[in-house]
Chain A
């Protein structure tokens, strides 16, 4: 009896595993993540397609790109900032023109911009393939937003990795033009298009986008006026003043108070402080990239971290050069200009406090402001329509300093352009305009120094004037030609 029982138990030992094994699910080897979607589902609903459009903006908003560093690089290359924390990770070598093709700024910005380009390209293709689940207008609008974003990306690439258009009307090498979505192993090798070819593509994208974009939309996405605004910037960079005027006229009324009469009712905010505090998407904002506690720029990318004072949560990486734009009377102690209120003195240095949110640094990023468009138009009309030019300049100035009257000499035909350019530096300080402005004007970068280091003068188009192409691009794209 006992033996029998044992034998039965024995069979149980054998049988149990076999029963268990055969009952195992057939899809034992089919696993997938619970936090990411398969590509098949990425365009499956209108909501997801909209999310993908937002995803392009999120790519532009990367802390390595427009979410922070792109603006910082463009400002610290200029003469208005002095390094306080000589740290290779936070732009020291950009500031002192010491970057190589392998410097992290050069490699990371290149990668971040093209990642956004690829997202735009994938959306353009994905919307086309799934147009049936969207209304035609919405489908067109999404493609237009993608094209707008792509144009912004290529424009940004040209500002650091290629010689300015004015050098030779764009005959120099630009960047590779990627216009198709990339997701497999093919297509690594692509030659650089010329600067002119890239600008042509940028304008093509913007012109195609303009009619299809939403007439009005919150400033965190591109609407029709946003594309027009960007075109004024692009044409100004190309020195095509007539086109700046043509485009700007679509959104700037002939006389003050200057406003956009179609699309979003863009106009200057009454107080500049409003632009950088609280309502980031008011009428002045033509494109403003949102930040949130759960969607912040990321470590060492944040504008406020670089510029703001430590007591307000900044890291005081760069201060305002006393011999730069800070020397302008608008920042003098007696000045009542509201823009002086966007700086603060700590110790012997003055710091830019325009971006003021402490960690995790959720200041929205101003990409295009109506004030810029006004100044673009003012600059474009210096010769053709000096009266309107002066009116535009005055509008920007008097918004921050209502009682201010420009000295007559500043407005003489010979000086007006300089006065406008100076106003740009005051108005757009810290918003990523200085280096592109220096370059489109055919100027050199001036020398600058502080206790923590010095940067040499870089004459127009000499070594260091533009960045090298990213070393990882050179390594993996056999058709690339280094600067």
Chain B
């Protein structure tokens, strides 16, 4: 019967006209320019501006094919219909399947190197200042540690571990082909991450090139990994308008409980009476009889609000595509006086000038204003006596911030005495927060222009000229009443720094397919020039208290913040990609880099990498096997290469003498011991990996094993200070280190139904770092955190391991801290005894007799690695009808953290203490970890030198992101011309599961610093006098027109 009808139907078929409309599934808008073809026939048509088409089909036509770039093609049976409407589904997978390797793009399926890609979608709507803050847990092998809660403080960003000892381990960041400035570019306490100038909502994709084969095209700058940012482009179709906005609230989390006024008085006086001193701390009453009780956290932290808006317009036709965006972000931090305000605009244009010539530009401008008090939480500020993070925990709780008449409660340069007879020498935090200012404002232009010419089919020449101009205006003011400014009666420091870089690359790209052979080749040349100039001054001695700006009247002016430097790169590079039947892959790349900072014989270095892959699943034998139904794709791959790190500064090879002054006379002094033999730091990277896809991509698993062998390590080799060499260090190639580990990325569409879907992304990475050789005959390199040393880099151990003097609790008999010296002997310590008798043997034949004092540089031992041995993320996304829920977890561990703040929180000077000090030893036999209190004791607690009782496990699990969204029904919206609206509520940093006693185990006061006194490489994992992290709640809306 059916058969008969069918025959009849086809017999009746004649030429006729079919009409219809093609629309986009996601927003229901008509799609112009869609190709409509008759299956199996030549000819066809395209849809008009209204998405409508008309096509004449013969009676034999069975189906129509609809295809359009960026959408999944559809075939519709013709049947007897005269109207066929089609909803095309956006092929987001197609876009995300392309990885951008800087000079070229490649299909993800064809990649044989190790590249982690994160779509811009994943970064959307998050309450961050810069995109990389949102990368935590999103990509295997990529570790992000937010140092603390200071806004726009650059996170410690590491790709496959720490890849240098003395040089920066921060990856190379490429934005639309331009290597951009990174790091904290501010000159004062208002942190200014250079990447905070980039609006995260402009980012289409982030590709992180991890192994040498992928990154070798960046040669000497690739050892720390390369992060390639591609910004959004217009897509074919009518103009799209998108708005994303959120408002939020943030506050400090997990603040350490401190002694209240009564407890403070009790503890401090007990410390005094224990050693026969008279009480010196007393409660104070106001005139109304109420007792002064000050929670200094209230003068440091607040509940702050933030808002963020991004609006973009995009679209494209056959000739031109455009993406125009503007953004505004105004985020107040939970630290009083800390804020981040960014205004930015972007125009991305591509235009087909002639048939074979395309020109375009990515043009972005931003203005970012960072404000902050001195938080004492940026690298180098750790022991500042005016750091807010520290003041909040040390100031006496029985002293008021303000006098009853509203004036500041001060005593000379310090906070007022209250009823105490011993003054605190810390300043009143309220004065500093109210009167001092730090701002760092950047004007940033990142732009490029390109022209690309197709010379013959497959062969394209492209020339791209890019600039990154970053101008920073730093201003700070310190008041004359309290803090650093007292001794010079207030002062202001301003400086202005112009960083400019141009980069000009010319490439010739060939790509073609010859039967089963696909070939891609690239050669290119690139010049880059970077220049920094900065000038400024400090003015001191405010003439009139009204003056609070640099431009006002002051008594003294001295130069400050002078910057002058330049460097240049000249590079030649090439790459080759080949595959046979998409089964066997080979690729290689090469770069020859010349750098101005090296001496004439050593300027150029050669770098390169190669990789191979085998898509087993493309083999016929595999396709025919039963397993191919379940395990649909299998690809194994491997790579090896050599890349470099050239963050050596501008002139390390030169011996320099600096002119200066001796009083009023000229003085010339040896200022840099150069090293003309200095060469590139090189990193030999090996990687093997496997990509598995199950059930046609429903589950996928990528596994990588990597081994980075960094030899020729550039070290600021420490010199014996008695040599008197400037800085006691000479930059030299010495030392070796490796990083190795496994990376797992699991993608799973657990459930995918029309009304309910659940997907999971899980990343897990391991990292083993070991230093295998160091300069000066493997001399240990100590990692200082300003005045304190709690880290060591020693051959045979991971870089920057935690290194402290071991303690063994408190002697129950005497209440004295027990130290263990380098001979394994236990010593009791009491600050009460005479210097020579402070340390006494606890046990053994010499028990009770005097012992040599602990010498931290000799008696300390390694507690463990400070960098996480494993880390990752688990993202679960649920959708039920119009509701969606995202739970993003991150985890990290296997490392130790040095919680130096705890030493301060138990210091027995006039400093306030944490609540746990109430458990101090008071009676013989009592078992506790808090020694008997001795006034003035800064040794038993760990202030004098770093001690093991302040070392803790760094393991944690964080609920980093929890978001609940609701997408409004389409029908309702289309009446108003709105294609979609999603509203959501979100929380960041909601919950931390950890045994760490400090506020947040994700911490690193030394951040990315490479300064000798506070290096983030040499002294990671230190939490000292830092502000905590914040917890944020936001409500947002995304609207598309």
A: residues with CB less than 8 A from B are 6, 9-10, 13-14, 16-18, 21, 24, 28-39, 41-42, 47-48, 50-52, 54-55, 57-59, 61, 85-89, 93, 96-98, 100-102, 104, 107, 110-111, 114-119, 121-122, 175-176, 178, 182-185, 187-190, 220, 289-296, 305, 310, 313-316, 358-360, 451-454, 456-458, 462-464, 468, 470-478, 480, 482
Of A6, A58, A474, the most chain B CB neighbours within 10 A belong to A58
Q: Which of B72-80, B775-783, B984-992 contacts A (4 or more CB under 8 A)?
A: B775-783
Could you list 22 examples of A-B contacts with CB < 8 Å? Answer: A16-B463, A28-B527, A31-B568, A35-B562, A37-B659, A38-B655, A39-B657, A42-B668, A51-B667, A54-B668, A55-B667, A86-B909, A93-B944, A102-B945, A114-B724, A185-B717, A185-B775, A188-B719, A294-B558, A295-B664, A316-B412, A473-B720
Q: Does B287 make an interface contact (CB < 8 A)?
A: no
Q: Does B856 make an interface contact (CB < 8 A)?
A: yes
Q: Does B5 make an interface contact (CB < 8 A)?
A: no
What residues of chain B lie closer than 8 Å to A295, measured between beta carbons? 660-664
A302–B906 alpha-carbon span in the complex (Å): 31
Closest 3 CB pairs of A and B: A118-B724, A290-B663, A359-B488
Tell me whether B853 and A310 are in contact (CB under 8 A). Answer: no
- With CB as the reference atom, state the residue of chain B lying closest to A296: B558
Determine chain B's interface SS by DSSP, over half rule.
Answer: mixed
Tell me whether B782 and A310 are in contact (CB under 8 A). Answer: no
Please give the distance in Å from B603's CB to the nearest CB on chain A: 5
A21–B465 alpha-carbon span in the complex (Å): 12
Of A17, A97, A110, the most chain B CB neighbours within 10 A belong to A17
Q: Does B596 make an interface contact (CB < 8 A)?
A: yes
A47–B656 alpha-carbon span in the complex (Å): 17
Q: Which of B460-492 contact A (CB under 8 A)?
A: 461, 463, 486-489
What residues of chain B lie closer than 8 Å to A33, measured between beta carbons? 564-565, 650-651, 654, 656
A116–B669 alpha-carbon span in the complex (Å): 10
What residues of chain A lie closer than 8 Å to B701, measured between beta carbons? none
Please give the distance in Å from A368's CB to the nearest CB on chain B: 17
Q: Does B264 make an interface contact (CB < 8 A)?
A: no
Tell me whether A290 and B662 are in contact (CB under 8 A). Answer: yes
Tell me whether A111 and B721 are in contact (CB under 8 A). Answer: yes
What residues of chain A lie closer than 8 Å to B487, measured between beta carbons? 305, 313-315, 358-359
A204–B854 alpha-carbon span in the complex (Å): 38
Tell me whether A451 and B506 are in contact (CB under 8 A). Answer: no
Known: A183-B673, A292-B661. 14 other contacts (CB 8 A): A9-B357, A31-B566, A31-B597, A88-B943, A89-B787, A100-B854, A119-B669, A176-B722, A185-B675, A293-B556, A313-B488, A359-B556, A360-B540, A472-B720
Please give the distance in Å from A473's CB to the nearest CB on chain B: 5
Contact of B779 among A289, A294, A476 (CB under 8 A): A476
Given contacts A31-B567, A36-B656, A463-B835, contact A190 B722 (CB under 8 A): yes
Given contacts A102-B945, A464-B836, A475-B780, contact A292 B855 (CB under 8 A): no
A39–B356 alpha-carbon span in the complex (Å): 55
Contact of B720 among A188, A292, A457 (CB under 8 A): A188
Q: Does B383 make an interface contact (CB < 8 A)?
A: yes
A302–B487 alpha-carbon span in the complex (Å): 11
A59–B355 alpha-carbon span in the complex (Å): 69
A316–B423 alpha-carbon span in the complex (Å): 12
Contact of A87 among B385, B453, B568 (CB under 8 A): B385
Please give the distance in Å from A371's CB to the nearest CB on chain B: 22
Q: Does B280 make an interface contact (CB < 8 A)?
A: yes
Please give the distance in Å from A372's CB to the nearest CB on chain B: 22
Given contacts A28-B527, A87-B425, A476-B720, contact A36 B558 (CB under 8 A): no
Tell me whether A178 and B723 are in contact (CB under 8 A). Answer: yes
Tell me whether A476 and B280 are in contact (CB under 8 A). Answer: no
Tell me whether A58 and B595 are in contact (CB under 8 A). Answer: no
What residues of chain A lie closer than 8 Å to B489, measured between beta carbons? 313, 358-359
Q: Does B658 make an interface contact (CB < 8 A)?
A: yes
Please give the distance in Å from B724's CB to the nearest CB on chain A: 3
- With CB as the reference atom, state the residue of chain B lying closest to A121: B724
Given contacts A32-B654, A310-B413, A456-B834, contact A54 B667 (CB under 8 A): yes
Tell me whether A190 and B724 are in contact (CB under 8 A). Answer: no
A453–B595 alpha-carbon span in the complex (Å): 56
Tell me whether A52 and B782 are in contact (CB under 8 A). Answer: no
Please give the distance in Å from B380's CB to the nearest CB on chain A: 13
Tell me whether A190 and B720 are in contact (CB under 8 A). Answer: yes
Given contacts A58-B661, A473-B721, contact A51 B787 (CB under 8 A): no
Tell me whether B527 and A118 are in contact (CB under 8 A). Answer: no
What residues of chain A lie closer than 8 Å to B724, measured between beta carbons? 111, 114-119, 121, 178, 182
Tell me whether A35 and B658 are in contact (CB under 8 A). Answer: yes
Contact with A along B669-711 (1 / 0, CB 8 A): 1111111000000000000000000000000000000000000
Please give the distance in Å from A141's CB to the nearest CB on chain B: 15
What residues of chain B lie closer than 8 Å to A18, measured between beta carbons? 506
What residues of chain B lie closer than 8 Å to A96, measured between beta carbons? 936
What residues of chain A lie closer than 8 Å to B660, measured between beta carbons? 55, 58, 295
Q: Does B259 make an interface contact (CB < 8 A)?
A: no
What residues of chain B lie closer than 8 Å to A110, measured between beta carbons? 721-722
Contact of A13 among B451, B664, B780, B852 (CB under 8 A): B451
Given contacts A118-B724, A118-B725, contact A35 B855 (CB under 8 A): no
Contact with A along B552-580 (1 / 0, CB 8 A): 00001011001011111010000000000
Please give the distance in Å from B424's CB to the nearest CB on chain A: 10
Q: Which of B165-173, B227-235, B726-734, B884-892 contacts A (4 or more CB under 8 A)?
A: B726-734
What residues of chain B lie closer than 8 Å to A88, measured between beta carbons? 383, 787, 938, 943
Tell me whether A13 and B453 are in contact (CB under 8 A). Answer: yes
What residues of chain A lie closer than 8 Å to B721, measured between beta carbons? 107, 110-111, 114, 470, 472-473, 476
What residues of chain A lie closer than 8 Å to B650, measured between beta carbons? 31, 33
Tell me whether A58 and B662 are in contact (CB under 8 A). Answer: yes
Tell me whether B662 and A175 are in contact (CB under 8 A). Answer: no
Tell me whether B723 and A122 are in contact (CB under 8 A). Answer: no
Contact with A along B778-800 (1 / 0, CB 8 A): 01101000010100000000000
A454–B661 alpha-carbon span in the complex (Å): 40
Please give the distance in Å from A361's CB to the nearest CB on chain B: 8
Please give the distance in Å from B374's CB to the nearest CB on chain A: 14
What residues of chain B lie closer than 8 Å to A13, measured between beta carbons? 357, 451, 453, 461, 463
A380–B154 alpha-carbon span in the complex (Å): 64
Of B564, B668, B670, the most chain A CB neighbours within 10 A belong to B668
Given contacts A29-B570, A360-B540, A475-B780, contact A39 B655 (CB under 8 A): yes
Q: Does B620 make an interface contact (CB < 8 A)?
A: no
Tell me whether A290 and B664 are in contact (CB under 8 A). Answer: yes
Tell me whether A36 and B672 are in contact (CB under 8 A). Answer: yes
Of B453, B664, B719, B780, the most chain A CB neighbours within 10 A belong to B719
A184–B776 alpha-carbon span in the complex (Å): 12
Q: Does B594 make an interface contact (CB < 8 A)?
A: yes
